[in-house]
Amino acid sequence: MAATSNASQSPQTAAESTVCQGLATALGNNQRFIDGQRAAPDAQSEARIANREAVIAQIRVQQEASGCVVGESAQDPQATQPAQTTPPAQAAPPTQAAPPAQTTPPASGQQVCNGSTVTLSGEDGAPAASSNQFPAGTRLKVTNLDNNKSTTVEVTSVSGSCVLLNNAAFEDVREPGKFLIRRAVIEKVG
């Protein structure tokens, strides 16, 4: 409903929309990652910062397209999670959130997120992903078509992208020196 009437309404805040919440969380995570790189730079920091700035620009485009407050950032993404009416592990399927690209949940093994780029969230831990289209617990296989490497990850949180990989998962599929996967196949596997 929100996707069809955003033009006549004022922008939604993260507290008003799950999509806006995911985008604000992704924006906050990327801003914190940049701050961390600036605080403790290494040889790759400049490239990582440039990549994250491009990701932030894309998130702002997605915020505007989704009718969200452009530039709204969740400074503490965990603090925004309890605003949901259901726990993340029991979140509603993407067909009930705006703006989903599909009308029914994809079957296991089905390709999803056609045309999406894959970036990294900057979060540490075991290989995992965040998504604005799949609830926590969903397993996704991400294949980088430029090097034919793939990884299978579990969605653990909400983001502003179809798939945002954490550091460990991104390392499994990245090309050296690149911080964005433009040609990817993403499949739902569980």
| CATH, residue 36 | 2.40.40.10
Q: Which residue has the higher pLDDT, 19 or 158?
A: 158
Q: Residue 86 domain-assigned?
A: no
Question: Could you tell me how far CA 61 lies from the centroid of its own chain?
Answer: 14
Is residue 106 a part of any domain in this protein? Answer: yes
How many whole angstroms separate alpha carbon 165 and alpha carbon 171? Answer: 9
Instruction: Dihedral sign for Cα 182, 189, 17, 52, please.
Output: negative
Q: What is the number of domains present in the chain?
A: 1
What is d(CA 146, CA 176) in angstroms, rounded to the nearest whole number?
11
Examine residue 174 and state whether it is found in any structural domain, yes or no. Answer: yes
> Which one is predicted more confidently, 124 or 84?
124
For the segment 103-117, the average pLDDT, to the nearest whole number, is: 64
Check residue 115 and give left, alpha or beta (phi > 0: left; psi -120 to 50: alpha). Answer: left
Regarding beta strands 184-188 and 111-112, do their DSSP bridges make them parallel or antiparallel, or are they unpaired?
antiparallel
In a domain, 66, yes or no: yes
145 and 117 Cβ atoms separated by less than 8 Å: no
- CB distance 88 to 158 below 8 Å: yes
Tens-digit pLDDT profile for residues 115-155: 778 888 888 899 999 988 888 899 999 999 999 999 999 99
Per-residue pLDDT, 84? 36
Residue 40 lies in a domain: yes
Provide the domain limits for residue 128. Answer: 2-81+95-188
- What is the reported pTM? 0.48
